[in-house]
Amino acid sequence: MSKYRLPPLDLFHTFEAVARHRSFTLAAGELCLTQSAVSRQIKTLEDALGLRLFRRLHRAIEVTAEGQRLFESVTRGLDDVSACLAALGAAAKAPQITVCASVAFAWFWLMPRLERFGALQPDVDLRVLATDQPVLPGTGEVDVAILFGSGQWEGLEARLLFGERVYPVCSPAYLREHPALHRPEDLLDQTLLHLEYGKPSFGGVDWRTWLLRQGVNGQPVRRGLRFNSYPMVLQAAEAGHGVALGWSYVTDPLLADGRLVCPVERTVETREGYYLCTSNDATHTPGIMAFLDWLSVEAKGQGDLRMTQRNATHTE
C-alpha cells in the first residue's frame, strides 16, 4: 500500500499552473497542453478530492478557499523539490578535493588556513582526511596527500612545502619555575614529554636523537610523560607539565603568540620535509592545481614567519 494516498502528481502540477495564472488558457500554453486537456485534468483532480478548486465565471475563473489552501501547499512542495534539485545539481558540478594529512598537520597547520582557501575558491568542495596512517593519492579516495619524507614516492608527483626544524618548547610558567634551564644538558633534569604512537617520529627525531645531536649523551633524571598524539603533547606543554619537542610548522605560531617559549635556543634540522603529493593523472586538474598553488603560497608565508623570528632572535 502506498504511503501517500494522493491523486496522480501530474494533476497537482497542472493545478498549480492554473491557480497561478488564474487561467486555463495560459496554463495550457505553459504546460504545452490543449485547454480542454487542462480542463479535464482539473475536473479529475476535483472529483478525486471531492472539492471545488475553482469557480468558473464568464471568461474568468476564481480560486476557491479550498483551492487557495491547496495552491499554497503545492507551491511550497514544488519550491522545496526545485531547490533540492538545484542544490544536488550544483554539488554534482562543484569540484571536490580530498586532502590527506597527519592529525597534527591537519589540526595545527591546515585547519587555520582553510577559511582563506574557501574565500579564494568558494566553488571547491574541500574534504580533509586527518590520519596518521597516510592514504596515498591515486587510490580513489585521496586527491592530495601531505607526506613527510624524502619526496621520492613511486608514481607520485611531489612538491616541497618546507623542511623541518625541531627544538624544545614549554610554557612560560614552566620556564619561570625552572630558571636554571638554559643549556641542552639542563634538559636531563626536566620532565620530558614524549610522542609515542607505534612508529618512529617524523624524521626519526625524538628526545634521544635531539639530545645526541647537541652532544648530550646522558639519561634523563626524571620520569617523562608519554602520549600517542602530538596535539596531546603540546597541550601538556602548554599546561606546564614538562618540555616537549616542537616541530616548527606547528610551534612557530605558538611561540609568536606567546603560548609557548623555547627555553634552549638549539634546533635540529631534519633531512626530510613536507611534500604536496598527487598522482600523475590528477596533477593538471584545475581545482587541484588551484589548491596546490594556494598551499605553496601559504607555505611561503610559513617561511617568512620563520625568517622574522630568526631575525628577532638575533636582534635580541
Q: Give the pLDDT of the chain (316 residues) as one tens digit per residue.
A: 567 788 888 999 999 999 999 999 999 999 999 999 999 999 999 999 999 999 988 778 899 999 999 999 999 998 898 888 877 765 555 578 889 998 888 988 999 898 888 888 887 888 899 888 878 887 778 889 999 888 888 888 898 988 889 999 999 999 999 999 999 999 999 999 998 865 555 556 889 999 999 999 888 888 899 998 888 999 999 999 999 999 988 899 899 999 999 999 899 988 888 999 988 765 567 778 888 889 989 888 765 444 444 444 333 3
Tell me, yes or no, whether 4 lies in a domain.
no
Domain boundary among 92, 117, 148: 92
Helix (H/G/I), strand (E/B), else coil: 205: coil
CATH number for the domain spanning 272: value is: 3.40.190.290
Q: Are residues 117 and 88 in the same domain?
A: no
Q: How far apart are CA 264 and CA 186, in angstroms?
A: 9
* Surface-to-core class of residue 44, CB atoms within 10 Å of its CB (0-12 exposed, 13-18 middle, 19+ buried): middle
Contacts of 196 (CB under 8 A, 6+ apart): 226, 227, 228
Q: Please give the tally of structural domains in the chain.
A: 2
Asked if residue 3 is part of any domain, the answer here is no
| Torsion angle of C-alpha atoms 16, 21, 22, 27, degrees rounded to 10 | -70
Asked if residue 131 and residue 229 are part of one domain, the reply reads: yes
Instruction: Classify residue 2: in a domain, yes or no.
Output: no
Domain final position from 51, 69, 92: 92
Same domain, 177 and 235: yes
CA-based R_g, the chain, Å: 33
Compute the distance between CA of residue 109 and CA of residue 299 in angstroms, rounded to an integer: 10
pLDDT at 182: 92
Give pTM, 2 decimals: 0.61
The whole-number pLDDT of residue 1 equals 56
- The pLDDT value given to residue 93: 57
Would you give the end-to-end CA distance of the chain in angstroms? 82
Same domain, 181 and 304: yes
Please indicate, yes or no, whether residues 119 and 189 belong to a single structural domain of this protein. Answer: yes
| pLDDT recorded at residue 148 | 87
Q: CB atoms < 10 A from the CB of 81, how many?
A: 10
Beta bridge partners of 192: 243
Asked if 159 and 250 sit in the same domain, the reply is yes
Q: Do 103 and 65 share a domain, yes or no?
A: no
The cell for 166 is 625541531
CB 252 within 8 Å of CB 224 = no
53, 135: one domain: no
Q: Are 74 and 115 in the same domain?
A: no
Range of the domain at 30: 9-92
199 shares its domain with 110 = yes
Q: Which helix (H) or strand (E) holds 234?
A: helix 230-238
Regarding whether 106 and 62 lie in a shared domain, the answer is no
Structure confidence at residue 313 (pLDDT): 39
Residues 169 and 242 in one domain: yes
Contact 164, 249 (CB under 8 A): yes
* Helix orientation angle between 35-49 and 24-31, rounded to the nearest 10 degrees: 110
Distance CA 275, CA 146 (A): 6
